[in-house]
Structure 1
C-alpha cells in the first residue's frame, strides 16, 4: 500500500537559533503577519490527497544556546513530515544513517532525530494533525 510506504511526505517545521526569540517572533508577527504563539507560528495547509484535512507546518525560534539541535552545530533544523516512521527508521538503520534518539510518542504524533552526512540534525515527525485542529488557536494562513 503506497500510503504506508516509509518516506517523507513534506516539511513539518523550520526551526532556527536566534539571539532573542521573543523579539524575533514579535518582528515576524508585526512585519510579516505571522500568527505568533508560545511555540512560534503554525502554518495551515491542505493535504493534497485528502483536501478536507488540515495539516500544519511549525515555524519556531530557539535560543542561541539551545541544546535541542545537538549534536548538530548548525543554526537551523528542519522537521520533515513522514508516514510509517517505524518503517523509515528501519530503512535508515539498514542504510547506516545515524539515529540520534528513540522514537517518542505524543498526542500530536511520533518524533525521532537523525543526522545527515553534513552534520545536520533532522527531526522526523509522523503527525496527528487533528489534535492541532481540535485545539484551535492562532495559525498563519
Structure 2
C-alpha cells in the first residue's frame, strides 16, 4: 500500500501572514485566498483527476506546529488514513490526535523522528 502520495501543503511561520501573502501575490503572481494559495495539478499526465497543494503563511506565534522553534510544517497527502493510523500505532510512532474529518478530507498529526509535527491528509478530491 502506498502511504504518502505527495505533498498536500507547506505551512510556515512569518511575522505578518497577510503582508507575506500580499508580497507573494504581487511579486510572484500567486493567486491567493484567505488560506494562502492553492496550486492545482493532475495526478498523472493522462488523468482528469485534479489534485491540489496548499501554501499557507502562519503567524510566527502559532502553536499549531507544535514546538515553538518549528518554523514550518509539511502536510503529506496519504491514502487510507485509517489503515495508516493503525500501522503507525503498531510501529510506535507518536500520534498527537485522533483522525478528524472535514468536507475536504481527513487529517491526523504525528511527530517525526526529530519531534517535528507532521500533518497527514487523506483528501476528498
- Give 1:79's aligned residue: 75
Equivalent of 1:122 in 114, 118, 121: 118
The match for 1:64 among 60, 66, 72 is: 60
- The one-character-per-residue Cα deviations of 1:99-129 (angstroms, maximum 9, x if unpaired) are 0111000000000000001111100000012
Deviations along 1:32-70, one digit per CA (max 9) or x if unpaired, are 111011000000110128710110000000001111111
Q: Which runs of 5+ in 1 are unaligned?
A: 130-141
**Residue in structure 2 matched with residue 8 of structure 1 by the alignment:** 4
The answer to whether the 8 A contact 1:72-1:120 is kept is no
- Could you tell me how far apart the structure 1 residues matched to 2:69 and 2:94 are? 16
TM superposition score normalised by structure 2: 0.95
Distance change in 2, residues 1:103/1:50 (3 Å)? farther
Structure 2 gaps of 5+ residues are none
Q: CA deviation at 1:71?
A: 4.1
Give the paired residue count. Answer: 125
Q: Kindly indicate whether residue 39 of structure 2 is the aligned counterpart of residue 43 of structure 1.
A: yes
Which of 99, 103, 108 does residue 104 from structure 2 map onto?
108
Alpha-carbon RMSD across the aligned residues, in angstroms, is: 1.4
- What is the distance in 2 between the residues matched to 1:103 and 1:50? 32
**Which residue number corresponds to residue 18 of structure 2?**
22
